[in-house]
Amino acid sequence: GESVGLHLPTLSVQEGDNSIINCAYSNSASDYFIWYKQESGKGPQFIIDIRSNMDKRQGQRVTVLLNKTVKHLSLQIAATQPGDSAVYFCAETGDYKLSFGAGTTVTVRA
Amino acid sequence: NAGVTQTPKFQVLKTGQSMTLQCAQDMNHNSMYWYRQDPGMGLRLIYYSASEGTTDKGEVPNGYNVSRLNKREFSLRLESAAPSQTSVYFCASMDRGNTEAFFGQGTRLTVV
């Protein structure tokens, strides 16, 4: 069936280092792939998206890479800060449906 | 600008009771969603509504019904609550042609 999932449930990173969060997807028909961040006690918040016909997109301190050959999506966070500690979800959308993966918990060490 | 508002924030139900979770958005978005979030399971889509007057099943629709009352409001109903429906429920809305969904603060539901 269709699903969006993540490789690792947790990631611990030293403050100032770069973080890489990975995601595997199975629905090649999705129009967009998206990353969301969820802080404790809150709803998810949009970080960045990438259209299915693109390979890379950069935002402020974040880069999303899409490898359609192996159905892999990644989020790179540069110079990770304590405020980046959260759960990160990849998601996909197509035909108005928005589906999420299981999430990776990122902990930033001081 | 309130965004997406969910009520109630907390609820405890006995098995077999019914209740409706309310969701309203003031951003004039066409699409609205209901998710449940369980530990280690991420966000699972229950139902969604692409536009006023339409609703579609998501990944886990069993035991739930929805109503898109108008463009602003999208409610989720549990007709006969079960302990397996203990979860945090999130409502979200998204504008057509966009990928940024806006979420409510969630409803923490416990069924005993």
Render pLDDT for A26-74 as a digit per residue (tens, 0 to 9).
787 899 999 999 999 899 999 999 999 999 999 999 999 999 999 999 9
Asked whether the predicted pLDDT for residue B41 surpasses 80, the reply is no
Percent residues over pLDDT 70 in chain A: 93
- pLDDT mean over A76-99: 95
Residue A9: the pLDDT is 85
Residue A3: the pLDDT is 47
Percent residues over pLDDT 90 in chain A: 79
pLDDT mean across residues, chain A: 91
**Contact: B103, A97; criterion CB under 8 Å:** no
Percent residues over pLDDT 90 in chain B: 91
Please, are residues B25 and B72 in contact by the beta-carbon 8 Å criterion?
yes
pLDDT band for B2, please (50, 70, 90 cuts): confident
Residue A6: the pLDDT is 46
CA angle B109, A47, A62 (to 5 degrees): 140
Residues of B in contact with A49 (CB under 8 A): 99-100
- Chain A neighbours among B 18-37 (CB < 8 Å)? 31, 33, 35
For residue A92, count CB atoms less than 10 angstroms from its CB and return exposed for 0-12, middle for 13-18, buried for 19 or more. Answer: buried
Residue A8: the pLDDT is 54
Instruction: Choose between A98 and A27: higher pLDDT.
Output: A98
Residue B1: the pLDDT is 63
Q: What pLDDT digit, counting tens, does each position of B4-25 carry?
A: 999 999 999 999 999 999 999 9
- pLDDT mean over B58-78: 97
pLDDT mean across residues, chain B: 95
CA distance A13 to B98: 32
Q: How far is A36 from chain B (nearest CA, A)?
A: 9
Residue A5: the pLDDT is 53
Residues of A in contact with B58 (CB under 8 A): 97, 99
User: Which region holds residue B72: left if phi is over 0, alpha if psi is between -120 and 50, else beta?
Assistant: alpha
pLDDT band for A2, please (50, 70, 90 cuts): very low
Residue A29: the pLDDT is 86
Strand extents, DSSP E, A52-103: 56-58, 62-67, 72-77, 86-94, 97-100
Asked whether the predicted pLDDT for residue B50 surpasses 50, the reply is yes
pLDDT band for A101, please (50, 70, 90 cuts): confident
